[in-house]
């Protein structure tokens, strides 16, 4: 089917009024909007919002979207199907006043057949009602609205169903790949038809490699899957180093006329697991250097722009990750496309809850009725992505209050549901591995419900069961994991070696691990052959679960799971919400062997000597700075990360001595000294020889702004450009304490989208073009308005020299 994007020229309004009878004539204050759109990110946060720390104290919304759609005359008599990639909230779709669809999962894509509901002599009115006011409904920031793309599929009377063109690698023999190509064809007429299906495979550069035809006959209103075995010899593997993609084109001809066509990209790769060798990709043993991410795009909220999704994958690749876990729901197709193109392995997760909820208004209210529909939609949509190697059927699933953990047959038993979901996945896709992430068992569930504010679930998660003797965790999870190919362990690295001996045939993946145990996470992963990878929580910081990675100076405040208002971000990512690497990411570079030079960070004098209380996802509150005005002569701690035998630190040329800094010290060395403005330098040694050095300097006061765009040339098709704003001194050195208020002006072929910083305590809105710098930095996002030309971005701040950059749109 022809796929037409209809993101442009919508309107939206916020309203609690609802009536099916007058939905086509709503009297609302309509505002123009192009999709994707997240309405929540535009609204002020408030400490009294019932979303709480989970969604960063953001409000709920009840929205209407409206679009007037004029159909082309040539489409008359064809099949017309709307595709919504994602609507955050309970959604209802109306066409010309008639309710035609409802959907209850904000993360799954769905279709609406509008063929019988449209007209060609006038405009068609599409109205979408989105309800997301019932809180709490999500454990992280979700947003609200039509936050992904909307498409119109146009197909012939006999057409290939969307998401139903699939390519499976059946076998690889020497240099030959044996493929099975399948396409489901629908006949919407009241008579039998005879036709020819042609499958064509193209190379990565668009060259036709091979074609094959298959005749078919369809009875009236019949659907049929047409399959064909095609061999490629020679062929190219899809791999993380060389992510080679082929294109499949399926064309239907009836009476020699082309009736319909469909295309998709795919890759040829093999995956296998064994307890002795772990995971193999294309026959090569590989450890997953993984990170978990949520779906938001930082300052853009949950709005899913293709470039925003691609940039996330680029940031992950640049930081050494080769795998990502999509927590805890299906993501936008654009992110998976980017993983395919850039070579990033994926664990795609279906659900965060099953029948028992974690919050009052989460998906458990709809799971029983819609789980199969949502699971099927995700697999059918994403089947061709070579980046996906595992499906996860659930994350830290709970039984619910009063449920016997030994009940294997009861309705609420996760054993029953685990078996059911796993079998359904294998029925739909036998080519990939199935996992689920498991943490602490819900022992003594009821007694834990009131033990901690905003955190009863986390107490269960952090509760450590005995490894030996009374090993209840092992007993309970053994029943759970028997239905899975890979056992997902959340925060259970202490069990790796023990379970290798106790369950020698079990394949384990560290599906979530703490940042602060990074060294142990990775050494245990490498040591145990049956542990296929490690996924940090999280690779990129995210909105919501506010403050779970905070460091506190108050013991009582540290006992709370989430941070009090105005905390907004989780504050636990290797990469912050603006895309900058945090200290833990540079430490990961050392642990993973990606960085040969040492790396210096400093515990600032404001925190030196204070009793600090760390939340489980926190990192040391160190900074990449040696500029602390007013703290001269005060004590500081210089931390050095290095894979070396020894490191030596110099302050203004004076040696503080050498210290061991290798595997026995977890690649860390700490020097307590006093702050003397100037320069700190670290030199790393192996076998007595210098292998690298690093330095940081005290900077002068800020005098100017500097702009660093991620690209100087972007597409004129609505592309995004991310521009870093940095305060610099007279020598163009970054000033890490600058907090000047900046104002952004955008002219030409683009418009302002968002302005953000990594300050998780700020109450400033991302949609405002004015904001205070945080630690000398900010990030502005601009969007091309679908015109060729130039975008001129100017940033001003009182007392600083302004900066300007020009982005070409081609």
- Mean pLDDT of all residues in 803-807: 99
Instruction: Compute the half-sphere exposure of residue 631: CA atoms within 13 Å on the CB side of its CA.
Output: 18
Q: What is the DSSP letter of 206?
A: S
pLDDT at 470 > cutoff 70: no
- According to DSSP, the residues that pair with 783 across neighbouring strands are 720, 751
Q: Give the architecture-level CATH label for domain 275-570.
A: Alpha-Beta Barrel (3.20)
pLDDT at 790 > cutoff 50: yes
Residue 462 confidence (pLDDT)? 46
Distance CA 719, CA 750 (A): 9
Q: What are the Cα distances from residue 49, in Å, to 133, 567, 676?
A: 10, 13, 46
Contact predicate 639/670, CB 8 Å: yes
Structure tokens at 662: 């290798």
Q: Which of 175-189, 258-272, 447-461 is predicted least confidently?
A: 447-461
Residue 494 confidence (pLDDT)? 92
Where residue 623 falls (left for φ over 0; alpha for ψ -120 to 50; beta otherwise) is: beta
- Mean pLDDT of all residues in 92-112: 97
* Cis preceding-peptide flag for 142 (omega within 30 of 0): no
Tokens 């500081």 locate to 636
pLDDT at 363 > cutoff 90: yes
Domain covering 2-154 assigned CATH 2.60.120.260 in the classification: yes
Contact predicate 621/652, CB 8 Å: no
Distance CA 471, CA 465 (A): 7
Where residue 544 falls (left for φ over 0; alpha for ψ -120 to 50; beta otherwise) is: left
Task: Categorize the per-residue pLDDT at 464 as very low, low, confident or very high, splitting at 50, 70 and 90.
Answer: very low
Residue 38 confidence (pLDDT)? 99
- According to DSSP, the residues that pair with 708 across neighbouring strands are 724
How many Cβ atoms are within 10 Å of 719's Cβ, its own excluded?
21
pLDDT at 246 > cutoff 70: yes
DSSP for 642-676, please give it.
Answer: -SSSEEEEEETTEEEEEEE-SGGGTTEEEEEEE--
Tokens 């690298």 locate to 692
217-230: per-residue pLDDT in tens?
Answer: 999 999 999 999 99
pLDDT at 399 > cutoff 80: no
Contact predicate 715/810, CB 8 Å: yes
DSSP, collapsed to helix, strand or coil, labels residue 385 as coil
Tokens 């504050």 locate to 571
Contact predicate 638/655, CB 8 Å: no
Structure tokens at 163: 């998401």
Distance CA 777, CA 768 (A): 16
* pTM, two decimal places: 0.95
- Mean pLDDT of all residues in 58-64: 95
Q: Which of 101-110, 343-352, 556-565 is predicted least confidently?
A: 556-565
Distance CA 123, CA 102 (A): 23
Residue 474 confidence (pLDDT)? 85
Q: Give the architecture-level CATH label for domain 596-697.
A: Sandwich (2.60)
Mean pLDDT taken over the chain: 94
Domain regions of the chain by residue span: 2-154, 158-266, 275-570, 596-697, 704-809
- Mean pLDDT of all residues in 530-558: 97
Residue 398 confidence (pLDDT)? 79
150-196: per-residue pLDDT in tens?
Answer: 999 999 999 999 999 999 999 999 899 999 999 999 999 999 999 99
Residue 460 confidence (pLDDT)? 44
Distance CA 39, CA 27 (A): 19
pLDDT at 458 > cutoff 90: no
Task: Please name which of 497, 477, 498 lies closest in space to residue 487, comparing C-alpha atoms.
Answer: 477
Task: Categorize the per-residue pLDDT at 405 as very low, low, confident or very high, splitting at 50, 70 and 90.
Answer: low
Task: Please name which of 677, 683, 582 lies closest in space to residue 624, comparing C-alpha atoms.
Answer: 582
Where residue 735 falls (left for φ over 0; alpha for ψ -120 to 50; beta otherwise) is: beta
CATH T-level topology, domain 704-809: Immunoglobulin-like (2.60.40)
Rg over CA atoms, the chain: 28
Burial 296-325 (b: 16+ CB within 10 A, else e): bbbbbbbbbbbbbbbbbbbbbbebbbbbbb
550-568: per-residue pLDDT in tens?
Answer: 999 999 999 999 999 999 9
pLDDT at 21 > cutoff 70: no
Q: Give the architecture-level CATH label for domain 158-266.
A: Sandwich (2.60)
475-497: per-residue pLDDT in tens?
Answer: 888 888 999 999 999 999 999 99
Distance CA 82, CA 80 (A): 7
DSSP, collapsed to helix, strand or coil, labels residue 334 as helix
Residue 587 confidence (pLDDT)? 99
Distance CA 568, CA 673 (A): 34
Contact predicate 146/130, CB 8 Å: yes
Query: For strand 599-603 and strand 635-641, is the pairing parallel, antiparallel, or unpaired?
Result: antiparallel
Task: Categorize the per-residue pLDDT at 472 as very low, low, confident or very high, splitting at 50, 70 and 90.
Answer: confident
Structure tokens at 81: 């199907």
Contact predicate 525/531, CB 8 Å: yes
Structure tokens at 118: 């449209």
Phi, psi of 461 (to 5 degrees): -70, -40
Residue 71 confidence (pLDDT)? 97
Structure tokens at 5: 């994007």
Same fold, 158-266 and 596-697: yes
Structure tokens at 579: 């895309």
Q: What are the Cα distances from residue 735, in Å, to 450, 688, 757, 772?
A: 46, 35, 15, 14
């Amino acid at each position: 089917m022809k796929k037409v994007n209809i993101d442009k020229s919508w309107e939206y309004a916020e309203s609690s009024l609802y009536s099916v009878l007058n939905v086509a004539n709503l009297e609302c204050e309509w505002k123009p909007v192009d999709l994707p759109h997240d309405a929540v990110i535009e609204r002020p946060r408030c400490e009294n919002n019932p979303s709480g720390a989970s969604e960063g104290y953001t409000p709920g919304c009840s929205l209407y979207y409206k679009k007037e759609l004029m159909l082309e005359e040539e489409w008359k008599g064809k099949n017309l199907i709307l595709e919504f990639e994602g609507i955050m909230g309970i959604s209802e779709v109306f066409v010309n006043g008639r309710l035609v669809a409802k959907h209850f999962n904000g993360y799954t894509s769905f279709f609406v057949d509008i063929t019988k509901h449209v007209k060609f002599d006038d405009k068609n009115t599409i109205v979408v009602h989105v309800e997301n006011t019932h809180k709490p409904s999500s454990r992280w920031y979700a947003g609200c609205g039509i936050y992904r793309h909307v498409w119109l599929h146009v197909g012939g009377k006999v057409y290939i169903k969307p998401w139903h063109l699939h390519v499976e690698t059946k076998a690889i023999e020497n240099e030959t790949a044996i493929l099975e190509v399948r396409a489901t064809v629908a006949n919407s007429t009241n008579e039998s038809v005879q036709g020819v299906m042609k499958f064509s495979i193209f190379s990565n550069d668009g060259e036709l490699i091979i074609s094959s035809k298959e005749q078919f006959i369809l009875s009236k209103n019949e659907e049929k899957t047409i399959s064909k075995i095609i061999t490629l010899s020679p062929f190219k593997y899809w791999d993380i180093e060389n992510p080679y993609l082929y294109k499949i084109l399926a064309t239907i001809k009836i009476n020699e006329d082309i009736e319909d066509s469909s295309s998709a990209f795919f890759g040829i790769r093999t995956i296998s697991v064994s307890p002795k060798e772990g995971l193999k990709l294309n026959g090569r043993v590989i450890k997953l250097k993984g990170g978990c991410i949520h779906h938001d795009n930082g300052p853009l909220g949950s709005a899913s722009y293709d470039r925003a999704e691609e940039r996330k994958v680029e940031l992950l690749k640049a930081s050494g990750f080769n795998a990502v876990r999509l927590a805890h729901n299906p993501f936008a197709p654009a992110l998976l496309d980017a993983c395919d193109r850039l070579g990033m392995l994926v664990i795609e997760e279906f659900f965060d809850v099953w029948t028992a909820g974690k919050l009052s208004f989460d998906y458990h209210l709809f799971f029983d009725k819609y789980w199969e529909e949502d699971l099927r939609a995700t697999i059918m949509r994403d089947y061709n992505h070579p980046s996906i190697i595992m499906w996860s059927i659930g994350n830290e699933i709970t039984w619910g209050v009063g449920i016997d953990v030994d009940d294997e047959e009861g309705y609420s038993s996760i054993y029953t549901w685990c078996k059911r979901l796993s079998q359904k996945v294998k029925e739909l896709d036998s080519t990939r591995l199935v996992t689920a992430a498991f943490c602490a068992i819900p022992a003594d569930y009821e007694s834990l419900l009131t033990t901690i504010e905003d955190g009863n679930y986390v107490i269960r998660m952090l509760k450590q069961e005995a490894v030996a003797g009374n090993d209840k965790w092992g007993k309970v999870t053994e029943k759970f994991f028997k239905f899975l190919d890979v056992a997902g362990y959340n925060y259970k690295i202490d069990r790796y070696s023990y379970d290798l001996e106790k369950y020698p045939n079990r394949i384990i993946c560290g599906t979530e691990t703490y940042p602060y145990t990074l060294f142990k996470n990775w050494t245990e992963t490498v040591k145990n052959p049956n542990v296929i990878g490690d996924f940090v929580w999280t690779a990129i910081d995210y909105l919501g679960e506010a403050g779970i990675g905070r460091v506190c100076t108050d013991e009582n405040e540290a006992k709370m799971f989430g941070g009090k208002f105005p905390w907004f971000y989780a504050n636990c990512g290797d990469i912050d919400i603006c895309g900058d690497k945090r200290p833990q990411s540079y430490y990961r570079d050392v642990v993973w062997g990606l960085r040969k030079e040492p790396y210096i960070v400093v515990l600032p004098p404001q925190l030196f000597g204070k009793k600090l209380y760390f939340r489980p996802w926190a990192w040391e509150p160190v900074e990449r700075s040696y500029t602390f005005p007013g703290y001269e002569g005060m004590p500081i701690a210089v931390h050095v990360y290095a894979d070396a035998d020894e490191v030596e630190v110099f302050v203004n040329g004076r040696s503080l001595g050498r210290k061991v800094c290798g595997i026995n010290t977890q690649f860390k060395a700490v020097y307590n000294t006093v702050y003397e403005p100037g320069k700190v330098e670290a030199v790393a040694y192996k076998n007595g020889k210098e292998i690298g050095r690093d330095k940081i300097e005290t900077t002068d006061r800020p005098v100017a702004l500097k702009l660093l765009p991620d690209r100087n040339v972007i597409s004129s098709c609505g592309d995004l450009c991310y521009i870093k704003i940095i305060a610099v001194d007279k020598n163009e050195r970054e000033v890490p304490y600058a907090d000047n208020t900046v104002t952004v002006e955008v002219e030409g072929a683009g418009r302002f989208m968002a302005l953000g910083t990594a300050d998780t305590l700020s109450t400033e809105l991302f949609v405002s073009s004015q904001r205070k710098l945080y630690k000398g930095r900010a990030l502005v996002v601009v969007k091309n308005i679908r015109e060729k030309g130039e975008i001129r971005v100017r940033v001003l701040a009182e007392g600083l020299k302004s900066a300007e950059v020009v982005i070409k749109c081609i």
